Amino acid sequence: MIEIKDIQKSFNGKEVLSGISGTFKDSDSSLIIGGSGTGKSVLLKCIVGLVQPDSGSVFYDGRDFTNGTEEVRTEIRREMGVLFQGSALFDSMTVEQNVMFPLNMLTKMPHAEKKERINFCLQRVGLENVNKRMPSEISGGMKKRVGIARAIVLNPRYLFCDEPNSGLDPVTSIKIDELIQEITDEFKMTTIVVTHDMNSVLTIGEYIMFLYKGKKLWEGDNKTVTSSSVKELNDFVFANKLLRDMQGK
């Protein structure tokens, strides 16, 4: 379980996050949604420790990550898997080396076992025969899959995905969403996905936190997200014409 308590963050005097609190339960796919510039990615970066909040704390199963010692932070970081918006694959490494990288750096696993593990992870995300390819030689959707494979290779307890659908076609987007949901259920991870994609919201949102101008305006799940009375959330959810038409009916 990940708990965030009263997270506040400003850049150059401009408040980006204002008193955000929430709880992301185990084995749930939780979403942080909102329009562009509402602070979703900054909140995710505060949660994973890439940005230090001005005040507030993040707790991983009761362990204080924000104000904890370097040892505690390192221990928690090694239980995380992160899929970045642009996949963040290392350009100079092949797909196989990218996925193997966390194993090389953080484990003393024998080479054969590492190979077995990366082949399992690549197969799990639906990729085969791409081991020797460079990131520049594969498509955007494949990069996301490699990113997910690298994120899960250490069997993390917590999985974070920053805009996993950005730059993907609708069909690939849905496949990536389904993959994240399946992996979360299969490995019993606590997953947080930052997105503004309504398909994701309706497909995998077991817990949804809606941000607007740096504030949490609503929280709920994908069953209640379309029936809220919060105007800003409705404007966001029903921005799509198809959903507006469905709402009218």
Does 86 participate in binding other proteins (rule CB under 8 A)? yes
Residue 120 sits in the site that holds other proteins (CB under 8 A): no
Residues 6+ apart with CB under 8 A from 176: 141, 144, 145, 148, 164, 165, 168
Report in angstroms how near the CB of residue 31 gets to other proteins at its nearest.
19
Does 105 bind other proteins (CB under 8 A)? Our answer is: yes
Candidate segments 59-67, 98-106, 165-173, 184-192, binder of other proteins by CB under 8 A: 98-106
Of 6, 25, 50, 139, the residue at the interface with other proteins (CB under 8 A) is 50
**For residues 105 and 112, which CB has a smaller minimum distance to other proteins in the complex?**
105
Of 89, 159, 179, 194, the residue at the interface with other proteins (CB under 8 A) is: 89
Indicate whether 12 belongs to the interface with other proteins (CB under 8 A).
no
Please select the residue that binds other proteins; options are 77, 114, 213, 215, rule is CB under 8 A. Answer: 77
User: Among 243, 51, 71, 22, which Cα is nearest to 162's?
Assistant: 51
Residues of this chain that interact with other proteins (CB under 8 A) are 45, 48-50, 70, 73-75, 77-78, 80, 82, 84-86, 88-91, 102, 104-106, 160
